[in-house]
Copies of this chain bind each other. A is one copy, B any other.
Amino acid sequence: MGQVSEDMVMHVEKNKQVCLAAYPEGMVTQQHLQVKQVRSFFVLKPGSDDVLLQTLWVSVDPYLRLRMLESADGLYFNTFQIGQPLSTAILAKVLASENPNFKVGDEVVGFSDIAEFVVVLKGTGLSKVDVPGVPKSYHLGVLGLSGFTAWVGLNLIAEMKAGEQVYISAAAGAVGIVAGQLAKLKGCHVVGSAGTDKKVEMLKTQYGFDDAFNYKKEQDWEASLRKRFPNGIDIYFENVGGNMLEAVLQVINRKGRIPVCGMVSQYNQEWTQRDGVRNLMNVVGNCVRMEGFLALNHAETWPQFLKEVTGYIQEGRLHYSEHVFEGMESFPSAFVGIFEGDNIGKTLIKLEGVEGQENRRI
């Protein structure tokens, strides 16, 4: 590939995109999203480094809710525009490439608009999928940003040590399920919480958590935690926010660490409507460090993460779960389902036999 003498042009008659239909006020519903069919022409100029992709898998992540705002309002993330596609992590096949690093047929992961066909300008952020012996879709989950978030949070932010007491909220989610297992592999005592008895049971039997509880059934979370952490909590892998954080701050140990990758219980409220955390002052006497992070800021450690976690998977010491929806039309229900607690592990959209593929001319 690389140098060619003329532009590559591709035409897709029906290219399905997931667009923002309206800014949700409060809980997001399927009505806030729209799956559009658009007619797309793609032009790749020689030497442009651009890459044309056919999307195979789409990552469905709760934090996208935070980008469905008119104003980011302190949250930092770029916001989505009405009528425009959302963007997220995808796994895709290279259909055409002006980039010497990628050739037709390569499978890659990266960030792009959510569409069946997309051009990634200059191939920015794309990387080839080339780990044998694991399902490809794992590159959007346990070997993707979800797993990396768990790994960064525990190792780089919390500086986890063997023997520590680790609590994971949203433990059956795409990140939590990895975090819990990584903490166990490190030799920690690990307790998780989740929203159904089925999830709780799975955490204990399939994912090796020392204990887990159903936060919808147990009302006094401080008591729930005290019972399961008689010696206090050293690390709280914070996924939830609100009142759960308050309960943790009552039970946290000296020099406790709280890596914060998100607060999913709070995503559907304007900030002034969110649960206030009233006992933050507890961080003083206990010298607690609470630290927000975006795993991608630690990209230099990606190779280390990939090697370590791939090893665990190949050795059968770390397991993962996916909740797979089929077809771009399923994105809105898959996304809304995350906030209803439907998912165990990673929520993904699988695309296959995409219409319009036959029409392409290059």
Contact = CB atoms under 8 A, between A and B. Distances in A.
Interface of A: 66, 72-77, 241, 245, 249-252, 254, 260-263, 266, 271-294, 297
Given A74-B249, A290-B290, A66 B277 contact: no
A297 B291 contact: no
Nearest to A250: B74
A274 B281 contact: yes
Nearest to A266: B281
A297 B288 CA distance: 13
Given A74-B249, A263-B281, A279-B274, A289 B287 contact: no
A230 to B, nearest CB: 16
A346 B84 CA distance: 57
13 contacts: A74-B252, A77-B285, A241-B280, A260-B281, A273-B278, A274-B278, A274-B281, A277-B277, A284-B292, A285-B292, A287-B292, A289-B292, A290-B291
Contact of A277 (B72, B254, B280): B280
A292 B286 contact: yes
A201 B96 CA distance: 66
Contacts of A272: 278
Contact of A281 (B250, B271, B294, B297): B271
A294 B284 contact: yes
Given A73-B250, A74-B282, A287-B292, 11 more contacts: A76-B286, A241-B280, A261-B284, A272-B278, A273-B278, A276-B278, A282-B292, A283-B290, A283-B292, A284-B293, A288-B291
Given A249-B74, A275-B276, A281-B241, A289 B286 contact: no
A274 B276 CA distance: 9
A289 B291 contact: yes
A246 to B, nearest CB: 8
A69 B294 CA distance: 39
Contacts of A66: 281, 285
Q: Select the residue from A249, A272, A279 with max chain B CB neighbours within 10 A.
A: A279
A355 to B, nearest CB: 36
A280 B263 contact: yes
Nearest to A73: B250
Q: Select the residue from A76, A286, A292 with max chain B CB neighbours within 10 A.
A: A292
A275 B297 CA distance: 32
A287 B281 contact: no
Contacts of A251: 74
Given A74-B249, A291-B290, A278 B281 contact: no
Please provide the 10 A-B residue pairs with the shortest distance between their CB atoms, ordered closest to farther: A276-B276, A76-B285, A283-B292, A284-B292, A271-B279, A74-B250, A289-B291, A274-B278, A74-B282, A263-B281
Q: Select the residue from A66, A272, A280 with max chain B CB neighbours within 10 A.
A: A280
A151 B286 CA distance: 19
Nearest to A253: B76
Contacts of A294: 284-285, 287
A221 to B, nearest CB: 13
